[in-house]
């Protein structure tokens, strides 16, 4: 590959995608956010700052023939972006939404055509993987239209993923980029990307804002997901260095939930007043409540914001219903409902286990983002190896000194204040100094900071600029059954062998010492695979037995030994090797004793038995 | 006839019909159905025009209806409704039509001076751009701006729909239960 002209950051979001690029040919070039061409109406192409992550699968009843073609594509089997979102509200059975949340949902086969989920319409279906690939492909073509003569696959492309994405979801994201014609991209965690956007903005002055021992909480609340990370300021060769020391679990909770909660409230009120609100009007109400929420948050002097549902027939004036969102609603539903001022030891409510649960996205059972944050900060009990201890209160709370907000929701000053107040309550209770006003690191353009930051990071990587040390975001284990007599009805107790330690750096390898496995040639072998975001001290080869709920089971790993000159059925002793790739994924290999034969373990991302 | 002129004629016709119930004279003259000279014998029949004069006007109406429900509003008999009820609907129609207009065209005043201020006039004052009212005499050199006028500075309408769909302002909507 010839050396790329641009670095391009792609934010492949749950509800919106964004694109930013940086021209490498100019030394002093700044990150440019690229607007994305998309169908905004039937027959109308326009560039918009964000590409809504919606895929609509039309049939011949939807649009006049030829009216949804794109300049780069004669295939009109799917519509992506604003028109998809709008038309999908009218015909939800053909709309694919939140593909990214499905991509990290291990309860379903993410490579099978299962979306639109639960649709009763027959017709085309796509897999979460395909949908993601289509968004990427769309962005690639749109970008190429703006940068004539360049192909996106020839650039240095960074795709961002939530820090909480597990290995399977990262792997699937990479597969989606390959399917979109970009076989060599790198992954970057979104909270880190947001931090890079701040670094880009602050320039060299960033060194004046933080000092060694500081701890930055990145609080990223987007449309569909909430993602936390901790970044520690350390010292390396007498200069400030940065290390990502903790990532949170995946929480399906975001701005869309908030807007819907408001819409439900307004709907209830309208229905009490004798109006009827149908499903399609609820959709309109949802959008309007989102806009009303933003307006009220922006303008603290307003005490109410009207929402109107125009009559659906041509009787416009006669059929119009008026509702309103009051500031009090905002305080009660959004601020107190999603950001309650809870103590630091508050635990989020657990998922209810109902006997028969409709299989769908595993939305967070507790809407309180502050409770999820408390749990995240309380669970960082062990420090990452190779680093100074992170700051901690006397009750064990990881104690940030700075906060960096990201995501559309965090644009609201009232919500930022609430998060800060709550954090300061916790810090005070734990004997730590409060985060002052200058402890809030301001990233610009919260909707697109991630794409910007990714492009900035791409250049920093190429030019040995400042980088956040990250490495593996989790500790990974392989399940080993104990050699104990089997008991009917009980699984043999399992031990977990650490194969990848937390923070294992990109581009490094490790051999798992002291253990050999016998694999049968010609037969598939399966390994149980587990991960932890909180156990950070386990070194490669550590065997653990009792882990409470620190470990999470992942998709199993599979390997099939093809006999190369070896008889089928023969048992081959192998050892395990782990590698964290430059791209940002991990690989596990079985290696024969003589080291001559290697087989890669593959994640089985097909449906898992529940 | 250029697009801007067609657009201006279409828009003026629309509002003239709407508010005074008659077409502007110059438009009537310009677009009188052809008492066309018979084509010279042997000359090929003129090719069908790619866009009819009215297509863009219908398109603009369709956009204002799609985004702001303007046609529904204008076509509805609102005499029976209380002002408050009209007001509720109008706020939305107004906001959405305004946004749609801003998206596809830029309107700016013809006269840059503020209303109520004095401006110079001279022989070169173009009656299409500036309408003089009151005691207009040949010697008049000065006047007070009463209305700044409007003109279209930019227009960028999306491509026209298929030929057969160009009279559709809004499709009928049928919900399948």
Residue with tokens 């992954």: A187
Domain count, chain A: 4
Q: Flag whether B34 is in a domain.
A: no
Q: Are residues B71 and B135 in the same domain?
A: no
Q: Are residues B6 and B67 in the same domain?
A: yes
Q: Are residues B96 and B126 in the same domain?
A: no
Q: Are residues B69 and B95 in the same domain?
A: yes
Residues from A contacting B (CB-CB < 8 Å) are: 41-45, 64-67, 280, 306, 308, 310-312, 314-318, 320, 322
Q: Which residues of A touch B75 (CB under 8 A)?
A: 314
Q: Which residues of B touch A311 (CB under 8 A)?
A: 89
User: Are A43 and B86 an interchain contact pair (Cβ–Cβ within 8 Å)?
Assistant: no
Q: Are residues A36 and A174 in the same domain?
A: yes
What does the pLDDT look like over A120-134, one tens digit per residue? 888 889 999 999 999
Share of chain A above pLDDT 90, in %: 47
Q: Which residues of B touch A42 (CB under 8 A)?
A: 161
User: Are B76 and A317 an interchain contact pair (Cβ–Cβ within 8 Å)?
Assistant: yes
Q: Flag whether B141 is in a domain.
A: yes
What does the pLDDT look like over A555-604, one tens digit per residue? 888 888 776 666 667 788 888 899 988 887 888 888 888 888 888 888 87
Q: Which of A557, A560, A565, A575 is nearest to A520 (CA)?
A: A560
**Weakest-pLDDT range from A180-184, A509-513, B36-40:** B36-40
User: Are A41 and B66 an interchain contact pair (Cβ–Cβ within 8 Å)?
Assistant: yes
Q: Are residues A170 and A209 in the same domain?
A: no
Q: Flag whether A462 is in a domain.
A: no
Domain boundary among A171, A188, A205: A188
Q: Are residues B129 and B174 in the same domain?
A: no
Residues A365, A351 contacting (CB under 8 angstroms): yes
Alpha carbon of A602: minimum distance to chain B alpha carbons (Å): 45
Mean pLDDT of chain A: 87
Q: Are residues A372 and A240 in the same domain?
A: yes
CB-closest option in B69, B75, B159 to A43: B159
Q: Flag whether A81 is in a domain.
A: yes
Q: Are strands A6-12 and A16-23 parallel, antiparallel or unpaired?
A: antiparallel
Residue-level pLDDT at B66: 94
Residue with tokens 């009660």: A332
Q: Are residues B58 and B23 in the same domain?
A: yes
Q: Are residues A177 and A275 in the same domain?
A: no
For residues A146-161, average pLDDT: 94
What does the pLDDT look like over A306-359, one tens digit per residue? 898 888 787 888 888 888 999 999 999 999 999 999 999 888 887 554 444 455
**Dihedral pair phi/psi, residue A100, rounded to 5°:** -65, -35
Alpha carbon of A91: minimum distance to chain B alpha carbons (Å): 10
Q: Are residues A551 and A528 in the same domain?
A: yes
Q: Flag whether A441 is in a domain.
A: yes
Q: Are residues B61 and B144 in the same domain?
A: no
Residue-level pLDDT at A195: 95
Residues A132, A171 contacting (CB under 8 angstroms): no
User: Are A314 and B72 an interchain contact pair (Cβ–Cβ within 8 Å)?
Assistant: yes
Q: Are residues A143 and A49 in the same domain?
A: yes
User: Are B81 and A322 an interchain contact pair (Cβ–Cβ within 8 Å)?
Assistant: no
- We report the CATH number of the domain holding residue A306 as 3.90.640.10
What does the pLDDT look like over A371-389, one tens digit per residue? 999 999 988 866 556 555 6
Domain boundary among A147, A166, A188: A188
Q: Are residues A369 and A436 in the same domain?
A: yes
Residue of A nearest to B174 (CA): A313
Q: How many CA atoms lie within 13 A of A62 on its CB side?
A: 27
Range of the domain at B127: 110-149
Q: Are residues A436 and A565 in the same domain?
A: no
Q: Flag whether A609 is in a domain.
A: no
For residues A194-205, average pLDDT: 92
User: Are B89 and A308 an interchain contact pair (Cβ–Cβ within 8 Å)?
Assistant: yes
What does the pLDDT look like over A441-476, one tens digit per residue? 987 788 899 999 999 999 999 988 888 988 888 899
What does the pLDDT look like over A85-112, one tens digit per residue? 999 988 888 999 989 999 888 778 889 9
Alpha carbon of A199: minimum distance to chain B alpha carbons (Å): 35
User: Are A64 and B93 an interchain contact pair (Cβ–Cβ within 8 Å)?
Assistant: no
User: Are B88 and A41 an interchain contact pair (Cβ–Cβ within 8 Å)?
Assistant: no
Q: Flag whether B46 is in a domain.
A: no
User: Are B69 and A312 an interchain contact pair (Cβ–Cβ within 8 Å)?
Assistant: no
Q: Flag whether A468 is in a domain.
A: no
Q: Flag whether B39 is in a domain.
A: no
Residues A129, A176 contacting (CB under 8 angstroms): yes
Q: Flag whether A345 is in a domain.
A: no
User: Are B92 and A42 an interchain contact pair (Cβ–Cβ within 8 Å)?
Assistant: no
What does the pLDDT look like over A13-25, one tens digit per residue? 999 999 999 999 9
User: Are A308 and B173 an interchain contact pair (Cβ–Cβ within 8 Å)?
Assistant: no
Residues B51, B160 contacting (CB under 8 angstroms): yes
Q: Are residues B58 and B145 in the same domain?
A: no
Range of the domain at A576: 475-603
pTM of this prediction?
A: 0.84
Q: How far is CA B19 from CA A357, A409, B15, B23, B107, in A?
A: 60, 45, 6, 10, 20
Domain count, chain B: 2
ipTM of the complex: 0.75
Q: Which residues of B touch A67 (CB under 8 A)?
A: 161-162
Q: Which residues of B touch A317 (CB under 8 A)?
A: 73, 76, 78, 81, 85-86, 89-90
Domain boundary among A188, A208, A243: A188
Q: Are residues A184 and A210 in the same domain?
A: no
Q: Flag whether B40 is in a domain.
A: no
Instruction: Inform me whether the pLDDT recorded for B46 exceeds 60.
Output: no
Q: Are residues B4 and B57 in the same domain?
A: yes
Q: Are residues A171 and A198 in the same domain?
A: no
Residue of A nearest to B166 (CA): A64
Q: Are residues B20 and B95 in the same domain?
A: yes
Mutate to test the interface with B, among A63, A310, A313, A323 (most CBs of B within 10 A): A310
Q: Flag whether B69 is in a domain.
A: yes
User: Are A308 and B66 an interchain contact pair (Cβ–Cβ within 8 Å)?
Assistant: no
Q: Are residues B157 and B88 in the same domain?
A: yes
Residue of B nearest to A323 (CA): B88
Q: Flag whether A461 is in a domain.
A: no
Kindly report the length of chain A. Answer: 610
Q: Which residues of B touch A82 (CB under 8 A)?
A: none
Residue-level pLDDT at A28: 87
Q: Flag whether A470 is in a domain.
A: no
User: Are A318 and B85 an interchain contact pair (Cβ–Cβ within 8 Å)?
Assistant: yes
Instruction: Inform me whether the pLDDT recorded for B19 exceeds 50.
Output: yes
Residues A524, A559 contacting (CB under 8 angstroms): yes
Q: Flag whether B45 is in a domain.
A: no
Residues from B contacting A (CB-CB < 8 Å) are: 66, 69, 72-73, 75-76, 78, 81, 85-86, 88-93, 158-159, 161-162, 165, 173, 175
Q: Are residues A450 and A479 in the same domain?
A: no
Q: Flag whether B16 is in a domain.
A: yes
CB-closest option in A66, A306, A317 to B86: A317
Which residues touch B66 (CB under 8 Å, ≥6 apart)?
Answer: A41, B100, B170
Residue-level pLDDT at A564: 63
For residues A533-554, average pLDDT: 86
| Tokens encoding B75 | 């076509």
Alpha carbon of B87: minimum distance to chain A alpha carbons (Å): 9
Q: Are residues B105 and B85 in the same domain?
A: yes
- We report the CATH number of the domain holding residue A426 as 3.30.420.40
Q: How far apart are CA A521 and CA A566, in angstroms?
A: 8
For residues A272-301, average pLDDT: 88
Residues A137, A80 contacting (CB under 8 angstroms): no
Q: Which residues of A touch B92 (CB under 8 A)?
A: 308, 310, 320
Q: Are residues A200 and A320 in the same domain?
A: no
């Amino acid at each position: 590959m010839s050396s790329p002209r641009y670095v391009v950051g792609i934010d492949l979001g749950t509800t919106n995608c964004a694109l930013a690029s940086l021209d490498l040919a100019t030394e002093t070039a700044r990150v440019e956010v690229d607007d994305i061409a998309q169908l905004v109406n039937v027959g109308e192409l326009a560039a918009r700052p964000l590409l809504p992550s919606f895929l609509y699968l039309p049939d011949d009843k939807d649009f006049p023939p030829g009216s949804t073609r794109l300049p780069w594509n004669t295939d009109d089997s799917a519509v992506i972006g604003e028109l998809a979102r709008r038309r999908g509200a009218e015909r939800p059975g053909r709309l694919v939404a939140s593909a990214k949340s499905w991509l990290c949902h291990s309860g379903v086969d993410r490579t099978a055509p299962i979306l639109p989920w639960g649709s009763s319409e027959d017709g085309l279906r796509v897999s979460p993987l395909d949908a993601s690939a289509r968004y990427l492909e769309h962005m690639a073509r749109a970008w190429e239209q703006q940068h004539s003569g360049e192909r996106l696959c020839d650039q240095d492309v960074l795709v961002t993923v939530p820090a909480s994405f597990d290995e399977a979801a990262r792997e699937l994201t990479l597969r989606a980029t390959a399917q979109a014609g970009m076989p060599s991209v790198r992954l970057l965690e979104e909270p880190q990307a947001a931090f890079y956007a701040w670094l880009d903005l602050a320039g060299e002055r960033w060194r004046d804002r933080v000092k060694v021992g500081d701890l930055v909480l990145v609080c990223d609340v987007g449309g569909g997901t909430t993602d936390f990370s901790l970044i520690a300021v350390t010292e390396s060769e007498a200069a400030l260095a940065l290390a990502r020391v903790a990532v949170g679990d995946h929480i399906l909770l975001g701005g869309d939930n908030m807007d819907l909660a408001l819409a439900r409230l307004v709907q209830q009120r309208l229905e009490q007043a004798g109006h009827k609100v149908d499903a399609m009007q609820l959709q309109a109400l949802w959008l309007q409540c989102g806009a009303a929420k933003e307006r009220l948050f922006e303008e603290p002097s307003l005490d109410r914001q009207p929402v109107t549902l125009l009559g659906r027939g041509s009787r416009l004036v006669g059929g119009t219903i008026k509702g309103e969102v009051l500031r009090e609603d905002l305080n009660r539903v959004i601020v107190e409902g999603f950001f309650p001022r809870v103590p630091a030891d508050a635990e989020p409510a657990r998922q209810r286990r109902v006997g028969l649960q409709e299989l769908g996205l595993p939305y967070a059972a507790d809407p309180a983002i502050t409770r999820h944050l408390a749990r995240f900060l309380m669970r960082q009990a062990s420090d990452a190896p190779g680093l100074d201890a992170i700051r901690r209160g006397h009750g064990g709370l990881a104690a940030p000194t700075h906060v960096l907000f990201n995501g559309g929701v965090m644009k609201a000053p009232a919500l930022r204040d609430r998060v800060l107040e709550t954090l300061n309550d916790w810090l005070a209770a734990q004997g730590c100094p409060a985060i002052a006003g200058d402890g809030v690191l301001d990233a610009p353009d919260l909707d697109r900071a991630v794409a910007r930051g990714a492009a900035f990071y791409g250049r920093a990587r190429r030019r040995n600029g400042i980088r956040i040390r990250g490495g593996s975001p989790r500790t990974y284990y392989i399940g080993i059954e104990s050699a104990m007599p089997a008991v009917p009805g009980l699984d043999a107790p399992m031990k977990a062998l650490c194969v990848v330690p937390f923070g294992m750096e990109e581009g490094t390898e490790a051999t798992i010492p002291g253990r050999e496995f016998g694999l049968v040639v010609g037969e598939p072998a399966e390994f149980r695979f587990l991960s932890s975001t909180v156990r950070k001290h386990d070194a490669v080869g550590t065997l653990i037995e009792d882990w409470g709920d620190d470990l999470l089971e992942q998709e199993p790993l599979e390997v099939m030994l093809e006999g190369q000159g070896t008889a089928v059925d023969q048992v081959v002793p192998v050892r395990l090797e782990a590698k964290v790739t430059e791209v940002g994924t991990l690989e596990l290999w079985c290696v024969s004793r003589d080291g001559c034969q290697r087989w890669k373990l593959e994640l089985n991302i097909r449906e898992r038995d529940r | 006839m250029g697009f801007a002129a067609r657009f201006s004629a279409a828009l003026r016709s629309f509002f003239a019909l709407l508010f005074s119930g008659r077409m502007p004279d110059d438009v009537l003259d310009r677009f009188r159905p052809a008492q066309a000279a018979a084509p010279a014998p042997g000359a090929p029949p003129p090719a069908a025009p790619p866009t009819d004069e009215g297509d863009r006007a219908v398109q603009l109406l369709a956009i204002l209806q799609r985004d702001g429900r303007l046609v529904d509003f204008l076509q509805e008999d609102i005499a029976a409704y209380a002002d408050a009820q009209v007001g509720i609907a109008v706020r939305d129609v107004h906001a959405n039509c305004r946004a749609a207009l801003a998206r596809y065209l830029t309107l700016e005043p013809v006269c840059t001076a503020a209303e109520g201020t004095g401006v110079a006039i001279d022989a070169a004052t173009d009656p299409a751009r500036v309408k003089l009212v009151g005691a207009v005499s040949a010697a008049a050199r000065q006047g007070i701006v009463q209305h700044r006028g409007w003109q279209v500075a930019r227009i960028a309408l999306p491509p026209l729909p298929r030929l057969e769909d160009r009279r559709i302002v809004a499709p009928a909507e049928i919900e399948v239960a």
